[in-house]
Chains A and B, each alone.
Chain A
Amino acid sequence: MSSVTQIAPTPVAPAVTRPRSRKRLRKAGWNVLGLVVLAVMVFPVYWMVSTAFKPGHDILSYTPQWIPTHPVLSNFTDAIHQQFFWNAVKNSLIVTTVVVVLSLVLAFLAALALAKFSFYGRKPFIVVILGVQMVPLAALIIPLYILMSRVHQVDKLSGVIVMYLTFVLPFAVWTLRGFLLGVPKELEESAMVDGATRFGAFVRILLPLLGPGLVATSIFAFIQAWNEFIIAYVFLHTPEKQTLMVWLASFTTLRGTDWGPLMAGATLCSLPVIVFFVLVQRKIAFGLTAGAVKG
């Protein structure tokens, strides 16, 4: 939509007789496109959830059933009673929590250094942070596997955590740096002249203003760590040590796929992300620094 409003203010030809209706038509076109995209995005989620409530024969029937006519909960009980479910829940929670907390702390300190201090090699560092995000993860898996096995971190949660941090951190640093740069330095300075220590100004002025940035970063880290599959699948062999995403894959066996419990498990796995998002999203009030400067 924003592209429309950017194009609009440059009326080229005064010959256009009815720019109004044209504009409306274009707007309607974009709206329809938006709805189509939305449908494409939402449908798989809907199909996952609805399948989770269907009994086995409904799932595999040739005429697709759009709404579960005889909803059942057996798929969920099956999934929960599946072997290693609670192990996987515990592992996923550990990995995700540690990744979120560590990435927030480390990225915040790094972003602070990048935004507030000038030091030798700062520019190259920023470029590198951007650059590493462009390397496809799949290309790195084998070298990283060898590297991690040398330091005995294969088949360990700690190894996976370190791996996750390697791609969560650059993005988190980059995002937080942007938020930090958005806070005028005069705010802290003013607090210091008003009687705060440097640390006091940091805690009372800077930190509250960075709330949205920290929330955005934590959501990103949470989603990445919770949903990650490839690394966990490659690195974690022992069933007791696997995370939820790897556990989900265990529904697909040589004898076929157990769709009902798989979809129920997938639905259960999506819940924490949604809950986390709902909990913290209220804190994302963008434009929190509005009114700090100028008139």
Chain B
Amino acid sequence: MAEIEFVHVSKSYGDTPAVRDLNLKVGEGEFVVLVGPSGCGKTTALRMVAGLEEITEGEIRIGDRVVNELAPRDRDIAMVFQNYALYPHKTVYENLAFGLRMRKVPKDEQRRRVEEIARKLGLADMLNRRPSQLSGGQRQRVAMGRAIVREPKAFLMDEPLSNLDAKLRVQMRAEIARIQKALEVTTLYVTHDQVEAMTMGDRVAVMRDGILQQVDTPQRLYDLPANLFVASFVGSPPMNLFEADVESDGAQLVFGDTRLDLGARSLRDYKGRRVVVGIRPEEVREASGWDGAHVGGRVLLVEALGAEQLVHIEIAATPLERADLVDAAAQPPGPSLGVEELERSVTLLGRFDRHLLLTPGEAVEVAIDPRLLHFFDLETGAALPTADVPAVAGVAG
């Protein structure tokens, strides 16, 4: 077991940068998930740790050792590839034993370890099969088993679940997390799926365009996103975002016809300026019985999710113009159809109790509690410091 550390690591392919000045430390036995949209440099970062990609600048350490110039085989790490990379001409047994054979582990020891892993992963009956005779889920298990059986210093996993169907994915998600906890092996796990990241990681590192945005525990990432990108990327459905003006006294926020008292969260440094306001769908509430400003809106769509319902509500506010600052996949639903009187309108997603009866077209009032709002700079997208940052967690209960 060992820690993995990136120290000012950069990687360029020709002139195109793939990873820029990455600083990240995966502690001993820790499970860190590297998450970000496709093409943001996750795989590249992982491959540099494995030694499959040269490092353009900076240092990567495994344990106390700088491994920049070390061959992959000397790094004592195991990697699970996105496409599994099983050896097609070898049986499951030979696939599992390959790493042990390469390391000259005695034959009977090899057999013992392979059989033990096969039993644990439910592969005991298929040791003599070829990869082509396995289902997708079984191949995935073989790929996992091949990494585990080596008992390496660290695991690297590149989207190991992305080729599985949804049900199997949820199941394997828990299983991988369980195995990692049991083995206490340092793990760097790459995915583009924020749900996977949030559910599996001890800590989550969010990346975008080769730049690390924020590293924190899943809960803190959710509660205190460092910028607009993280705010829009983490959480499903994503955070509602729109623009609003801060009054010249810094104590009130104006959007559409709404005037919101910021109370203790006054934005003193942003007096008279425009900011981005964010609110999580579960904090958008039907007005009756809730504090905060009441905002009038209209129900556009109701999506029943069983335990709750997802309600699209149109309110008067200015949509966020800077699409480049948020996650492209998390764009709010497009402009509504034919609501002329609300020229500048924003669709708020609200997660409501299922007992609330709402029909599309109906007028509705939502309560927006200033204590639950997130604020971001319109230019840089950075989260704004307010007087009482930790309030979010405190109020939520």
Contacts and interface: CB of A to CB of B under 8 A. Distances in A.
A218 to B, nearest CB: 19
A291 B85 contact: no
20 contacts: A184-B85, A186-B83, A186-B85, A189-B72, A190-B81, A190-B146, A192-B72, A193-B72, A193-B77, A193-B79, A194-B102, A205-B87, A291-B130, A292-B84, A292-B86, A292-B88, A293-B83, A294-B136, A295-B140, A295-B164
Contacts of A195: 73, 99, 102-103
Given A193-B51, A194-B99, A292 B72 contact: no
Contacts of A205: 87
B89 A294 contact: no
Nearest to A194: B99
B88 A192 contact: no
Interface string A199-227: 01000010011000000000000000000
A208 B79 CA distance: 22
Interface of B: 50-52, 71-73, 75, 77-79, 81, 83-89, 98-99, 102-103, 130-137, 139-140, 146, 150, 163-164
A291 B86 CA distance: 7
Given A291-B88, A291-B139, A292-B87, A194 B131 contact: no
A192 B99 contact: no
B92 to A, nearest CB: 10
Interface string A164-195: 00000000000000000000101101111111
A289 B88 contact: yes
Nearest to B77: A193
Contacts of A191: 87, 98, 102
Given A190-B146, A288-B88, A295-B164, 19 more contacts: A184-B83, A184-B85, A187-B87, A189-B72, A189-B81, A190-B85, A191-B98, A192-B52, A192-B72, A193-B52, A193-B78, A195-B99, A195-B103, A197-B73, A289-B88, A290-B131, A291-B130, A291-B131, A292-B84
Contacts of A102: none
B130 A187 contact: no
Given A193-B73, A193-B78, A295-B137, A200 B88 contact: no
Interface of A: 184, 186-187, 189-197, 200, 205, 208-209, 288-295
A196 B73 CA distance: 6
B52 to A, nearest CB: 5
Contacts of B132: 290-291
B71 A192 contact: yes
Nearest to B83: A293
Contacts of A193: 50-52, 72-73, 75, 77-79
Nearest to B164: A295
Contact of A294 (B71, B78, B163): B163
A179 to B, nearest CB: 13
A293 to B, nearest CB: 4
Contacts of B72: 189, 192-193
A289 B88 CA distance: 5
Contacts of A187: 85, 87-88
B102 A200 contact: yes
Contacts of B84: 292-295
B88 A189 contact: no
Given A189-B52, A193-B51, A292 B85 contact: yes
Nearest to A197: B73
B312 to A, nearest CB: 35
A197 B87 contact: no
Contacts of B99: 194-195
Which of A192, A194, A208, A291 gathers the greatest number of chain B CB atoms within 10 Å? A194
A293 B136 contact: no
B70 to A, nearest CB: 12
B44 to A, nearest CB: 13
